[in-house]
């Protein structure tokens, strides 16, 4: 297993454009999380999935953000009508919560979004 | 509310020294896990060490060890024989088991190892 992967690693877009990011979790992991991280800060929770079901979405998350996880495998995060404030690192993590010995989240390398 | 506090925004030590990063947390739940994650500059977040709250023994992973004081709700990370590659942001995180398995993060400590 190669770990959590994210694509693209970097994205530069103009304000008002839509962007979509992809995350491929570790294959047997049933939980997938999206976070946003700005420079020098800890990750900020956005949303998470258990299998294909989106179980929680941050109240701070704008309606311009949407995430999917069809078939419970990879996930996509779409940001519509991007704003400069959306510029950040978007992190994906996965975990396997069927065993209490394996609850830690494993992170991907992130997608750095720059909105100009 | 459940919180994690890291009171040291930045620390620096000489290579080969021992350094301790502090973390305190607050939760009303009895069943939880605590983690330290490391995020090197421009690199991805990786797990350093984990501690189950029900275990009294402090977790250790090679040069990394924790001092878990459950009553004081303290969870410090000790790095022995520090190396240049330990330079990174270190985040303390709380995972309450009785909620929805959401990680609660501290603000991080920037650790610089000087040659």
High-pLDDT (> 90) share of chain A, %: 67
Chain B CA closest to residue A44: B105
Per-residue pLDDT of B36-67, as tens digits, reads 999 998 788 999 999 999 888 999 999 999 99
Q: Which residue of B has its CA nearest to A38?
A: B107
Is A41 touching B (CB cutoff 8 A)? yes
pLDDT digit string, tens, across residues B57-105: 999 999 999 999 999 999 999 999 999 999 999 999 999 877 666 789 9
Of B27, B42, B47, B39, residue with least CA distance to B95? B27
Tokens 């947390």: give the residue.
B25
How close A24 comes to chain B (CA, Å)? Answer: 15
Structure token pair of residue B15: 């290579």
Helix, strand, coil % (nearest 5) of chain B? Answer: 5, 50, 45
Quick check: A103 and B46 CB within 8 A? no
Report d(CA A106, CA B10) in Å as an integer: 25
Model pLDDT for residues A36-82, shown as the tens digit of each residue: 999 888 899 999 999 999 988 888 788 999 999 998 899 999 999 99
Residue B108 pLDDT > 90: yes
Helices (H), chain A: none
Alpha helix stretches (DSSP H) within A19-71: none
The tokens for B7 are: 């009171």
């Amino acid at each position: 297993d190669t770990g959590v992967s994210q694509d693209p690693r970097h994205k530069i877009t103009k304000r008002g454009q839509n962007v979509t990011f992809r995350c491929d979790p570790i294959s047997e992991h049933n939980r997938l999380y999206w976070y946003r991280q700005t420079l020098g800060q800890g990750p900020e929770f956005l949303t998470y999935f258990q299998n294909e079901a989106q179980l929680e979405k941050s109240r701070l998350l704008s309606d311009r953000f949407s995430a999917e996880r069809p078939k419970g495998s990879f996930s996509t995060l779409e940001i519509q009508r991007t704003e400069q404030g959306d510029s950040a690192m978007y992190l994906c993590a996965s975990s396997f919560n069927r065993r209490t010995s394996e609850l830690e989240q494993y992170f991907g390398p992130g997608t750095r979004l720059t909105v100009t | 509310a459940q919180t994690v506090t890291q009171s040291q925004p930045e620390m620096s030590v000489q290579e080969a020294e021992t350094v301790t990063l502090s973390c305190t947390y607050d939760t009303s739940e009895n069943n939880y896990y605590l983690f330290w994650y490391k995020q090197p500059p421009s690199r991805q977040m990786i797990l350093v060490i984990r501690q189950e709250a029900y275990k009294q023994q402090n977790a250790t992973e090679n040069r990394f060890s924790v001092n878990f004081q459950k009553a004081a709700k303290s969870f410090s990370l000790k790095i022995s024989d520090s190396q240049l590659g330990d330079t990174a942001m270190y985040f303390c995180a709380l995972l309450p088991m009785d909620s929805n398995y959401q990680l609660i993060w501290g603000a991080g400590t920037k650790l610089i190892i000087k040659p």
